[in-house]
Chain A
């Protein structure tokens, strides 16, 4: 649940971790987003950048300009003053996915694990709208939830050393997309032709924290078309 009062944790002499709740949940994550937006709208002297996550915001500061104690006061004051925060309306992004085959190497394993068909796994994965809780791991990787209970799957016992760009994976009650080729331990259900990270654009990522995502299935033959 969300904490009544934010908890502050010291991460060295140039960052402060603000914890807003004790678990992964949409309402705790919304509190993180509110504080993130609040600090964007009311810049605090010495704050260089903030990194939002599931239940916390990491505030990175210039220790030659400010310090932990001052920052804690300023953040608490901001939270008191602005009880209601207008966060921007999240955008909804629809993401095409080729499920299974060489694009989704673990689809059949996941179906067997849940004693069901690959069709049902796809149906379950595409039935929900997911919330982007945070971007991390690699540039543009969206951690999204909650996966239907019925699809909750442990991570792979042995992580793969390379997962191709665009791979759509699941782990526990989360789903995510690998924007660049990287190692990873999630079960891969399919692959999207959409580009999630482009360092030559600002913003460099398709998705941001707070966005809503829906997946829909496409045929393998359509993959190339979507890439253009």
Chain B
């Protein structure tokens, strides 16, 4: 497979990185998973251009990314509506498009959501580091030279020509998620929910929490009513492993939803966002509100099975196309 140049970064916007589904199996070495914050959109974008669903995409944050198309190529944009255009034509999300050599792609502004995923037919040719193409931003490795993309960077893809027949592939409307300014997240209580007061647990489920501007790929910081811990327990705990979606509460009682750039932590965790809802975490932006709803483990497992079944059906119809 020959890698050839496909896209050039004309302007990177505030943060554009190369991410696949993540770097797994190295938590024992303190290596965080990194990877896309919205794995559903990443997987769909890849499938729409005929890639393996785990292939790397561009994770585009908010607005401002501009690209030059260096050869005919299939692309798909999934996730946030950042008003992607090719020249002056809007690029519909959740659909595969064939872009002509010489055209210009721009992300003009946020309509909804926070992060868009741009898949290129033939993927993004960067080396696998510890089994993944994802960018680990805090430790600066993986992805494109271990850093966010900048003006002048050129992306290459493997045999993009072989993906040009995917033009027009589309995700069924029923599977398209919607993103509002208030996101509802389902949680399972634990691992330290019993070290908060009844009042604290109620607060988490009763009030909207506002997303603060100092949120990033390590965590979503929330502001709202204090989540009170029991008077007999201290501010911190003995550090332990953590996963994305777990909600830790530091001494100030303001919750933080852990994301993908960290593997251990030393604060109590009241609850954990269920796997089926994790992709929504990638679409929450500063200023948005978040509400939590408690579900049982069985409900969480069922919700995930349902989501995976939907995606599986989409994959099958896609591969059945001529």
- In the assembled complex, A147 has its CB within 8 A of some CB on chain B: no
Which residues 101-152 in A have Cβ within 8 Å of B in the complex? 134-141, 143
Q: Which residues of A contact B188 (CB under 8 A)?
A: 10, 12-13
B297 touches A58 (CB 8 A): no
A138 touches B30 (CB 8 A): yes
Known: A64-B304, A68-B297, A204-B130. A12 touches B29 (CB 8 A): no
Binding stretch for chain B, among A46-54, A88-96, A214-222: A46-54
Main SS at interface, chain B:
mixed
A14 touches B275 (CB 8 A): yes
Give the nearest-CB partner of B308 in chain A.
Answer: A64
- In the assembled complex, B139 has its CB within 8 A of some CB on chain A: yes
Interface centre among A136, A143, A180, A205 (most CB of B within 10 A): A136
Q: Which residues of A contact B301 (CB under 8 A)?
A: 13, 63, 67
Q: Chain B nearest CB: distance from A223 CB in Å? A: 22
Known: A55-B238, A58-B241, A182-B138. A49 touches B27 (CB 8 A): yes
B241 touches A17 (CB 8 A): yes
Main SS at interface, chain A:
loop
A134 touches B239 (CB 8 A): yes
Pick the residue among A49, A56, A137 that contacts B24 (CB under 8 A).
A49
A135 touches B30 (CB 8 A): yes
B31 touches A204 (CB 8 A): yes
Give the nearest-CB partner of B142 in chain A.
Answer: A199
Give the nearest-CB partner of A182 in chain B.
Answer: B138
- In the assembled complex, B70 has its CB within 8 A of some CB on chain A: no
Binding stretch for chain A, among B7-15, B38-46, B242-250: B242-250
The bracket for how many chain A residues form the interface is 35 or more
- In the assembled complex, A197 has its CB within 8 A of some CB on chain B: yes
Q: Which residues of A contact B297 (CB under 8 A)?
A: 10, 13, 67-68
B24 touches A11 (CB 8 A): no
A51 touches B238 (CB 8 A): no
Known: A23-B238, A58-B240, A68-B297. A51 touches B263 (CB 8 A): yes
The bracket for how many chain B residues form the interface is 35 or more
Known: A12-B245, A137-B264. A197 touches B139 (CB 8 A): yes
Q: Which residues of A contact B305 (CB under 8 A)?
A: 64
- In the assembled complex, A211 has its CB within 8 A of some CB on chain B: no
Interface centre among A13, A23, A182, A208 (most CB of B within 10 A): A13
- In the assembled complex, A200 has its CB within 8 A of some CB on chain B: yes
Q: Chain B nearest CB: distance from A29 CB in Å? A: 11
Which residues 124-155 in B have Cβ within 8 Å of A in the complex? 129-130, 136, 138-142
Q: Chain A nearest CB: distance from B28 CB in Å? A: 6
Known: A13-B188, A13-B301, A137-B264. A204 touches B29 (CB 8 A): yes
A54 touches B138 (CB 8 A): no
- In the assembled complex, B109 has its CB within 8 A of some CB on chain A: no
Known: A10-B188, A12-B243, A140-B29. A63 touches B263 (CB 8 A): no
Q: Which residues of A contact B304 (CB under 8 A)?
A: 13, 63-64
B residues lining the A interface (CB < 8 Å): 24-32, 129-130, 136, 138-142, 187-192, 238-243, 245-246, 263-264, 269, 272-275, 297, 300-301, 304-305, 308
Q: A12-B275, A60-B241, A200-B129 are in contact. List 4 more A-B contacts (CB 8 A).
A: A12-B187, A56-B241, A138-B138, A139-B30
Q: Which 4 A-B pairs have the closest CB atoms?
A: A58-B241, A12-B272, A136-B264, A51-B241
